[in-house]
Amino acid sequence: MPIYNHYNPVKIIVGPGQLRALPNLLSPGRWLLVTTDGFNRRGLTTHIKTLAPQTHWQVYHGVTPNPELDHLEYVIRQYRQTYIQGVVAVGGGSVIDAAKVLAVTLPSGLQRPLHTVLRQGQKHHWEEQLPLIAIPTTSGTGAEVTPFATVWDATTHKKYSIVGEQVFPKMALLDPELILSLPPKQTLYTGLDAISHCLESLWNHNQTPISVAYATQGLNLALNGLPQVLDSPQNLQARTQMQQASLLAGLAISQTRTAIAHSISYPLTSHFDVPHGLACSFTLPNIIEDYIKRCHCPQQVTLMQKIQKMLNQLNLFQHLHEYATHEQILTLKAEMFHPERAGNFQGLLNDDIVEAFLTEPT
């Protein structure tokens, strides 16, 4: 009988057109809407204000991919003196991560700068959180249901995580209609991120029967949904499948965290701006090949081999080499052993194995 804990407090609201339910989720007061300049220019912030005209809105639309530490500190200072009732995040994983940071830092009374806490590895217990409603516009990160926020440091080329139960959003509102306009490369890379999360939670020392169920179902959905949505971006059913795959993947890693593929990915994003979904997925076929030699779970092996075949057809190394050569990638090998992630991997790890993961099959 396995012994494990499971905890995820996020209320999840799912379905086409569910953005219209947002006004019913907002308590009276001033809410901070966090999004990107692109969504702001395309009128999404105006649309949300129209949906909830009784709410007093503050809008921050300066989120960029991979939220940067010094910029987030500037935003924290900008809003610290403003009484905020709660936060609404509309965007992909970077937007939701930025909103998570704001939701835990604005009410915290943190006396030290955030960069001091993170760069010096200081422990900080986040005791308070503003209510956060996460509305994802990509299908990949699952950030709407995880207790992690990723922050990137351009000065040190490092990635930091803010982790804790207070980092969980209060609610996740998933409306697949918001994803119909996602461009092809973002559709691919975010879909790959969801697949990576599922696999990373399966070959994970922290796996539980619940996380395995989430991840397995997520992979089955992605196996069908990703090829369909790449072929037919306006297919609402396929978009819904990928949104569900991303959600299930997020629920899985909320319990297990990620593993070696993500550990490898971080320096590639920090140094070469490789999109996260690509950085954490190009190694997956090689890791699958290595892992199934040791896996004593035939059902998972069959599913992983199907995923491996699909990934191989996507020519991920060709995408990767648009950002960095194989030689450049190998120079970062020493930075790829992120202990909090690599240590979760059930397989063997050493320099030669990691180099094999990084090498395009012939």
Pick the CATH number of 184-358 from 1.10.540.10, 1.20.1090.10, 2.60.130.10, 1.10.1370.30: 1.20.1090.10
Whether the predicted pLDDT of 242 surpasses 90? yes
315 phi, psi to nearest 5 deg = 55, 55
Which class for 224: exposed (0-12), middle (13-18), buried (19 or more C-beta within 10 A)?
middle
As a whole number of angstroms, the distance between CA 91 and CA 355 comes to 35
Residue-wise pLDDT tens digits, 331-357: 999 999 988 889 999 998 999 999 999
pLDDT of residue 158: 87
> What residue ranges do the domains of the chain occupy?
11-177, 184-358
pLDDT of residue 116: 75
Using alpha carbons, select from 166, 224, 144, 150 the residue that is nearest to residue 191.
224
- Residue type, position 2, single letter: P
Name the one residue in this structure whose structure tokens are 């890379």.
189
As a whole number of angstroms, the distance between CA 175 and CA 188 comes to 19
The answer to whether the beta carbons of residues 54 and 1 sit under 8 Å apart is no
Residue-wise pLDDT tens digits, 285-332: 999 999 998 877 777 899 999 999 999 999 999 999 999 999 999 999
The answer to whether the beta carbons of residues 145 and 243 sit under 8 Å apart is no
Tokens at 38, concatenated: 């692109």
Residue-wise pLDDT tens digits, 243-256: 999 999 999 999 99
Which of 98-112, 115-129, 209-223, 340-354 has the highest mean predicted lDDT (pLDDT)?
A: 209-223
- Residue type, position 355, single letter: E
Residue-wise pLDDT tens digits, 40-74: 999 999 999 999 999 999 999 999 999 999 999 99
Q: CA–CA distance from 224 to each of 108, 237, 303 (Å)? A: 43, 11, 12
Whether the predicted pLDDT of 134 surpasses 70? yes
133 CA to centre of own chain? 16
Q: CA–CA distance from 190 to each of 60, 116, 142, 251, 265 (Å)? A: 23, 31, 10, 16, 14
HSE-CB of 252 using CA atoms within 13 angstroms: 34
As a whole number of angstroms, the distance between CA 362 and CA 360 comes to 6
Mean pLDDT of the chain: 94
Residue-wise pLDDT tens digits, 152-204: 998 888 889 999 999 999 999 999 999 999 999 999 999 999 999 999 999 99
The CATH T-level fold of domain 11-177 is Rossmann fold (3.40.50)
- Residue type, position 95, single letter: V
